[in-house]
Structure 1
């Protein structure tokens, strides 16, 4: 068996110590994420390459075990107990065979989803407690809706001669489920899948910081802005429930100007926010933009769903109504670096390729896309950590602030 490179191992150990010292001093998510990255590199340096590859192709069984434990309600049972629970009690309370529970628990203990206090004695961990919240909706969405398409994606790419998927009506989802509906139309026509997906999305946003908490709104938007209450301040395109604009309203309650949310009629059926100071306008992003001269046109997690050509159509509908020197576009998305991209964002890119088919773009691709429709990038703002960034752009021939 090939011996690990001990020099590399000790080098990673020193790097981890440095990052942990930085994290202890700053409590910065950037330092924490750097330490996590180095810890993975340390593991990889110690691991036999053959074992690493073998474990990779066995890894779907990890998700399978978590899914079964989730279906049996084991995480909830453990989270509700302050002491360890026996395998027999878990089996009795779930109705599953004790040996099956033992085998499933063995995997999720090895994954640190559950703690083990002696043979057959299990307790909750932070991971198992997290599995009782809304974010656990990813388990059902993945297994019941996305996993079949993920498994079919190699065949889809083979049959399409390995072209980058960009057609909304002919991607891996459509190939798998034999439909020409785009993915959101498909969800709308499959109520259970739609409910699973939106429960997951709500779970992802639960506990996340709002954009107004880290983006410099005062200096980039409000300073130098004077308006009447009838003037459009912010237009949130494909806004969903209006959460982001409600966060803005809470943070800046006394700013004059209309705060507008736009989305499709089907999305707005259950959205009631007029009493909260938001104005609803039913609007398709591919249609001409009805609000002229707003200070900000805001798109959060919209453009990653579309090819560059379709993004240009959406953006050109906005640029036609922007006022030079006044209007800005804010785009909130994950940004990939041009090299050494983090695994998490890279996996999100793969999920988008399957589902959209969409794409997580690099900053270089974003700049090129925006310049192709007459926009210039003034600022790219990053939160502390690995969350989405915000790109601020405006029409060309305007001096940057």
Structure 2
């Protein structure tokens, strides 16, 4: 065997191959971010590709680091970084001096004009200042179409409102637990100077306290007084368990936004009383998902009444999540009225239906599932003939005990076939006897 020649250069992977390998890595902090950081230190040849991938979807833990990233990396070496299209800023470090949100957004407008998706998490009221000069710069973010705000606190609602109106092509807005002081002027019925934003998709999630209910109401009220009420296509609204009854401002704003909505998801973990009057505004909905954790048989009847009043000719996909008792405790009078209502539009046009029933009480799943099927067959007779139906019964959202009925229903087949229960021991579905 010949000896190894120490003067011979070590074998190297061709740069075009190593670059392609590095670009397959995911820069997310939950995926391959640490690997990419290590790859940057391997050699000069690996540095450009590693930095390019890292900068394609950066995750930045503070406004200060975001400002440094934009001014010292993207500005100084623009050719060695990917065109910045997605950016996530999560303010985990609040110590020391931090630039304002307005300064960071102004830097984005200058150094990242191709930005399409921006996520802001844990912005505090101290850093949420956006002066008028910064608002003018924000209008240069002409490619930004999606904005996500999670657990952000603004000094005033006008700051949030002006920011949304300044983004010329914003189409997708998602908020979760957004807070701000509310003034009487924020709830007045008025026309804003700017018709923007023209949103196509909105997701509003406030799930913590009664105080956050007012923030959700004000944001809905604002959107209902912009051109979004005509352009909106998809809307998701989720209210937390501590909210209580809905306000008149909430119901009026939601009813106005729903007139043109095609896809609507509503999740209410609080008392559903007085929360359902907006359903009659669903005149064009195609896909509908409703989830009420504390619904009763009266709630189900009110849901059906509201949808029949809306009379959408386009409803083909319907999902309803309610407690098991909301069906099984329905009276004979309720079932007769429900059967009459569900024979009309929009229920007569439904092609895919998913009914999810939950309970915290202990019942035999096979018996309860059969009982629920019997009630379904009586309250919605056409469902067994004209639709693909999935019915699921589960003890709670934290339990693995599930009963499911989802055969491919065809005209003339039995409505009762197909019940299954989930066996946690064998982790398999078992056919009901």
TM-score by length of 1: 0.27
> In proportion to residue count, which structure has more strand?
2
Return the index of the structure with the highest Cα Rg. Answer: 2
